[in-house]
Amino acid sequence: MNDRDLIKIITENVMERFQLPLEGRSNACGGCALRQCDQGKRACDQSQSSRKVPVGVSARHAHVTQSDLEILYGEGHQLTIKAALYQPEAFAAVETVTVVGPRLKALEGVRILGPARNYSQVEIAKTDAIRLGIDPPVRDSGDLDGASPVTLIGPAGSVHLPEGAICATRHIHMTPKQATDFGVTEDDRLKVKVSGNRALVFENVRPKIDPSYVLQMHLDTDDSNAAGLEGGEGLEILWND
């Protein structure tokens, strides 16, 4: 059996699973990425008042174009909002995909984040990459030159992305005023301190500045686990290089 036939079998098996009812969905905060807890009471909001940067744990996820979404879920399909994310207008969709690497190892139930974008990609942690048998570069979202090849499988079909998987750059969303207050620009690469039993300093943290953003640092699950972070903790910007 060649790889193409095996991918076809995997695709058919995954499509069957998509037909099963979705049960046991949690309404928890989700690593401080979602806006489902009481406004003004969440740890992320409280940490901002102490001039620290709240952290959000960004689990593996996918972004897709509308055309790829329709291949995965059927013609005319639109993303369905499951929960609003911390950043304005962004949301976790009901829709998920299975991500298959070149060694035919798979990650199931990878959440699509909306709205649809003008590129399709998967953002994963290094641990996920090892499972898939790939070595994705550390990149900003949408910078896919040299990204690792993966295949996305949905209930209606599959999409192969020759350059589709990255490990996301550590970054902080902030408004222009917040950037001025912290004394940083988008050209800076920051050092951010984590206190506590697993204290460490994250380096090469990129500021992302836009008037629509809400202050929050994004870390993948490998980084957050290494520092013992659950989401919402306030972190300290030490200096910029």
Domain limit, last residue, from 168, 191, 217: 168
At 239 the pLDDT is: 67
Model pTM? 0.81
206 and 190 housed in the same domain: yes
Number of domains in the chain: 2
Residues 6+ apart with CB under 8 A from 128: 60, 107
108 and 164 housed in the same domain: yes
Find out whether the peptide bond into 115 is cis, omega within 30 degrees of 0. Answer: yes
Domain limit, last residue, from 133, 168, 203: 168
Tokens coding 91: 């949301």
At 51 the pLDDT is: 72
* Cα 205 to Cα 183: distance, rounded to the nearest angstrom: 14
Domain that holds residue 176: 43-56+170-240
Query: Which of 229, 181, 239 has the alpha carbon at shortest distance from 43?
Result: 229
80 and 145 housed in the same domain: yes
67 and 152 housed in the same domain: yes
179 and 156 housed in the same domain: no
Tokens coding 186: 């988008």
At 14 the pLDDT is: 58
**Is 28 within a domain?**
no
User: Could you report the average pLDDT of every consecutive run of 10 residues in the chain (241 residues)?
Assistant: 61 54 38 49 56 91 98 98 93 98 94 98 97 97 97 98 98 95 94 95 97 95 96 85 55
